Amino acid sequence: MRSPCDNLIETLKSFNSSLGDMRLKSAVYKSGTVKVSLISDVTVSESDVEFIKSSFEKELPGIKVEVETHKSIADADIAKRAIISYLQSNCFSVAHAIDDNSVSVITGGKKIKYEIVVLDNVAEYLNRTGVLSCIKSDLERQYSNFFEGEIRVSSKDEEKPVYEDLSVNEEDISDLKVRTVKMCDVQRFSDDEAYDTATYIADGEGILGKCYFAGTVIEKEARQSKKGNTYYRITLDDKSGKISGSYFTTDKAKLQKLEKLDVGSVVIVRGEMEVFNDRPSFLIKGFHFCEFPQGYVPARRPGKKPPEKYTVAFPTPCETTKQEDFFTVGSKLPERLMGKEYVVVDIETTGTDVTSDKITEIGAVRIKNGIIVESFQTLIDPEVALSKKITELTGITDEMLVGQPKIHEAYPDFIKFLGDSVFVAHNADFDYRFLKGAGKELGYYLENEYEDTLIISRKVLPFLPNHKLNTVCAHFNIEFRHHRALSDAFATAEAFIELNKLMK
């Protein structure tokens, strides 16, 4: 459906041909200001941006307008990644049946034709849900191309090479095997149903309906529903991933039982995965206490292995005076840091939308036995123009990214540097989701255990006015230069070590 903003843009284009094929990406109103984000197939001059801004303000008297423009054109590879990402992120019931072989793309000028080739039951689902029109609407808000798609049922000859490596029952996509773990010492607690086998949390992304997960409780929060009833928000970690679910009950006996569920408890839960406000939502129906098998280590999902050698980005040993001064504490370092490796990561991106924005820089530092020993940094050409806002925020310009490696060239080196270390970041979900999504498109599966200095700081420094990275760093007198990735990674690493000293 066209909006008044779309109509105004069409009018402006008819008067000013230098705007190219400009389209509305988003328009957000907040506190008297409309922030308008536009895409075009040409670079829009500052004078044209002012022309657009003044035109919008004439149409919206009394409202302040901010305008940002992006040159955004998709080629065949970008279009293919975007289509696969859309299917895997929005078609939860069949996401496990979509892979790199499912989509083929051809381009002709600005027109992009694509074909989705899937098994008959998956094709029926995609046709029923009108996915082609949804993809067209979504991608034409991101790129100044025209998208035309078709869904085709694969023949028997095509089915085998696409799915045999994934151990799929070709007769029924719903039988796709996911990794599971059989829990030990299950003690019935708050459910009449008996169960002991859980799906890996990392494999739960494409599941809808009844499901079982197990993990260590890392957060438990009592909340109030709109009707004034108490419910609990519980977060589990099974070392393959984390998931939060809501547990609703008006049964006072069950609520009293829930008091015995503490952070650190290991449970297996039964629940329902459904879609709420276009996002997956996990409702917990019941749970039992249990234990992981002795020596449990999550099985790796099959995927590309890290390269044997670095190719475009290389680690650098850390030998700074500041580091030596910082780590003269020796025996005061917490035990949990000893004999273990952490890689602290920070990224810069073209925006905050994990489905459409791109990574422009990766910075990481390795902590070994409580000491920062190595760093890794690379700029990345996102193959799209940066907005003025992002350049102001990060200090990264389009010129700086010319000639830098593409994500498919830099990502293998990052995966090699990360290895099996614990992934650490501030507001880790943001960095982890971006890097996980980028890796998935390239055939790598990021499944490292991860820790979040934002969550840790809220627990051990509850008196701070907020828990932004610069606030936490200021508390520890850590040098902080926002917003470049490697500098932020160093600051986060130093904060992580200091926070660990305060953890019980």
Same domain flag for 194 and 279: yes
Choosing from 144, 169, 194, the residue where a domain stops is: 169
**Same-domain status, 359 and 420:** yes
What is the token pair recorded at 214? 């197990």
Beta bridge partners of 272: 210, 283
* Residue 485 placed within a domain: yes
123 close to 136: Cβ distance less than 8 angstroms: no
pLDDT at 17: 66
pLDDT at 329: 41
Going by DSSP bridges, is the β-strand pair 359-368/209-224 parallel, antiparallel, or unpaired?
unpaired
Give the DSSP H or E segment for 137.
helix 131-139
Q: Which H helix or E strand runs over 457?
A: helix 453-460
Q: How far apart, in whole angstroms, are the C-alpha atoms of residue 38 and residue 72?
A: 9
Residue 405's H or E segment, with its range, is none
Strands (E), 194-340: 197-199, 209-224, 230-237, 242-248, 266-276, 279-291, 316-317
Neighbours of 486 (CB within 10 A): 20
Residue 169 confidence (pLDDT): 34
Average pLDDT of the chain, as a whole number: 82
Please tell me the number of Cα atoms within 13 Å of 171 on its side-chain side: 0
Residue 370 near residue 358 (C-beta atoms within 8 A): no
- Of 48, 71, 94, which one is at a domain's C-terminal end? 71
Q: What residues contact residue 340 under an 8 Å CB cut-off, 6+ apart? A: 369, 422
Distance (Å, whole) CA 455 – CA 228: 27
Contact status, residue 424 vs residue 418, Cβ threshold 8 Å? no
Could you tell me if 44 and 110 lie in one domain?
A: no
| Distance of alpha carbon 12 from alpha carbon 36, whole angstroms | 14
Residues 207 and 349 occupy one common structural domain: no
Label residue 324 by pLDDT band (50, 70, 90): very low
Is residue 380 assigned to a domain?
yes
116 band by pLDDT with thresholds 50, 70 and 90: very high
The question of whether 426 is a catalytic residue gets the answer: no
H/E stretch holding 49 reads helix 46-59
Asked if residue 248 is part of any domain, the answer here is yes
Does residue 129 share a domain with residue 59? no
In angstroms, the Cα distances linking 294 to 17, 35, 130, 234, 298 are 68, 54, 47, 24, 12
> Which of 275, 291, 307 is a domain's end point?
291
Q: What percent of the chain has pLDDT over 90?
A: 35
- Burial level of 107, CB count in 10 A (0-12/13-18/19+)? middle
238 occurs within a structural domain: yes
Q: Which range, of 13-17, 52-56, 88-92, 447-451, averages the lowest pLDDT?
A: 13-17
The model's pLDDT over 325-377, given as tens digits with 9 standing for 90+, comes to 444 444 467 888 888 999 999 999 999 887 788 999 999 999 999 999 999 99
* Residue 43 CB coordination number (10 Å): 13
Do 334 and 441 sit in the same domain of this protein? yes
Q: Are residues 375 and 496 in the same domain?
A: yes
37 and 140 housed in the same domain? no
Q: Is the pLDDT of residue 177 over 60?
A: no
Please report, as a single letter, which amino acid is at residue 232: Y
> Could you tell me the residue range of the domain that residue 275 belongs to?
180-291
Q: What total of structural domains would you count in the chain?
A: 4
Q: Give the domain CATH number at 43.
A: 3.30.300
Phi, psi of 491 (to 5 degrees): -60, -40
Nearest CA to 204 among 236, 166, 163, 232?
A: 236
For residues 28 and 159, membership in a common domain is answered with no
| Residue 433 and residue 325 share a domain | yes
**298 lies in a domain?**
no
CA distance 145 to 107: 10
> Is 199 a member of any domain?
yes
* Confidence band of 164 (pLDDT split at 50, 70, 90): very low
Q: What CATH number did the domain enclosing 432 receive?
A: 3.30.420.10
310 belongs to a structural domain: no
Whether residue 250 is found in the same domain as residue 354: no
Question: Residue 281's domain is classified under what CATH number?
Answer: 2.40.50.140
**Tens digit of each residue's pLDDT (9 = 90 or more) over 45-85:** 788 788 888 887 887 788 888 888 877 778 888 888 888 88
pTM: 0.54
Which tens digits make up the pLDDT trace of 83-105?
Answer: 888 887 777 667 777 877 889 88
**DSSP assignment letter at 145:** S
Residue-level pLDDT at 167: 31
Please indicate, yes or no, whether residues 422 and 495 belong to a single structural domain of this protein. Answer: yes
Residue 236 lies inside a defined structural domain of this protein = yes
> Residue ranges of the alpha helices (H) in 386-444?
388-394, 398-401, 407-418, 428-442
